Amino acid sequence: MATDSSGQQAVDFVWGNFPMQPNDDRTDGGSTVVVAADAAQNYDWSGYSVYASARLDAALDNHANAEAGWSGYPAFTAGAGNYIITAVEGNGTTVTYTSQNNLAVGDVVNITGLSASAYNLSSATVATADKLKFTVTNAANAGLITGQYGKVQSTTALTAADGVGLGNIIVPDVRGLTTALALDALKDAGYEAANITTATAATNTRTDVTRFNATSATAAVIYATSAHTNYPTGTKVTLVAGTPAGSSPVNLPAYALGTWTVTGSAGAGQITVSGSGFTVADTTGINATGTLGGANGTIRVQSTAANAAGVATTATITITPWATAS
């Protein structure tokens, strides 16, 4: 079989009982594969296609699994990877970690993200292991702690993607999510629980809408003082019926009331929103007060930009939710 410069098989995906193979040493288009058209009947291969190779894409779950699921490449020893710890207890001699895992006795691991710092260990050797827990010999004794979201990672991987899990985070967009859902999303992405800070809720004083221009059934422009600075893209806003003012009040149309996602700014004092059920119409001269505010308890801003790549799992991030609108 053809090999690359490192002596590895120059294929990424094959059929039969041979596992998927990472392509660490190859580049896009560096080699080709020939595929026969209807090969079962076409023994002379008169019809075939030639496809250029492509590297695995870590943004795709199945490709990331191919990279992270094996170590000792090209021997393909099952990798001792990146697992979550949900509880831990020490007795002064042994520390027992509750974790669904594939660890084995003798694996050397780093343990991070636990609320009791004594249980966060570096280069600890696994003493015993089964599918639901593992132990290490250590004098740490901070009692039983549960409800954790710690992490155990192998230290013996050849690269950050071989058996140790992905070494970097692609930061999720948590704007507009509730605080609880935002925390879950950040942890799922790889952030350590101890490195996520929830800031004091942002002041949420309702402002007056003067115009609601529904440009389609799913999009509208909202006009309100400083709307373009108060309500960042990605955040959620809520429109409520205000208190009519003047002798000829103009209220927000009923279809405008609800919670919508800010998609951008149409200019000073304007935001664009996405929604549903709007009637295409431009309602001007609205003079009902206290109608626009951030959606209570949802995230207004995050300190690290959404979709930022190459962020270390040990990095910190701060999320700021909206306070209750008033």
Residue boundaries of the structural domains of the chain: 1-55, 77-166, 169-201+301-321, 209-295
Query: Would you state the pLDDT for residue 190?
Result: 73
Summarize pLDDT for 128-150 with one digit per residue, the tens: 999 899 999 999 999 999 887 78
Mean pLDDT of 254-273: 93
Query: Would you state the pLDDT for residue 32?
Result: 54
Residue 317 to residue 321: CA distance in whole angstroms? 13
Q: Given pLDDT bands bounded at 50, 70 and 90, which one contains residue 175?
A: very high
Query: Would you state the pLDDT for residue 102?
Result: 80
Summarize pLDDT for 193-224 with one digit per residue, the tens: 788 999 999 999 999 999 999 999 999 999 99
- The percent of the chain in helix, strand and coil, each rounded to the nearest 5, is 10, 35, 55
Residue 231 to residue 263: CA distance in whole angstroms? 10
**H/E element, 67:** helix 61-68
CATH architecture of the domain covering 209-295: Beta Barrel (2.40)
Residue 291 to residue 311: CA distance in whole angstroms? 39
Q: What pairs with residue 89 in β-bridges?
A: 96
ω into residue 22 within 30 of 0, thus cis? no
Say whether 209-295 and 77-166 share the same fold. yes
Lowest mean pLDDT among 34-43, 185-194, 241-250, 257-266: 34-43
For 258, the token pair is: 């609800």
pLDDT at 324 over 60: yes
Query: Would you state the pLDDT for residue 101?
Result: 82
pLDDT at 125 over 50: yes
Q: Given pLDDT bands bounded at 50, 70 and 90, which one contains residue 238?
A: very high
Contact 98, 90 (CB under 8 A): no
Higher per-residue confidence, 17 vs 117: 117
Average pLDDT, the chain: 78
* Residue whose structure tokens are 């690290």: 304
Contact 77, 99 (CB under 8 A): no
CATH topology of domain 77-166: Elongation Factor Tu (Ef-tu); domain 3 (2.40.30)
Mean pLDDT of 280-302: 92
Summarize pLDDT for 45-91 with one digit per residue, the tens: 555 555 555 555 555 656 555 554 444 444 444 444 567 888 999 99
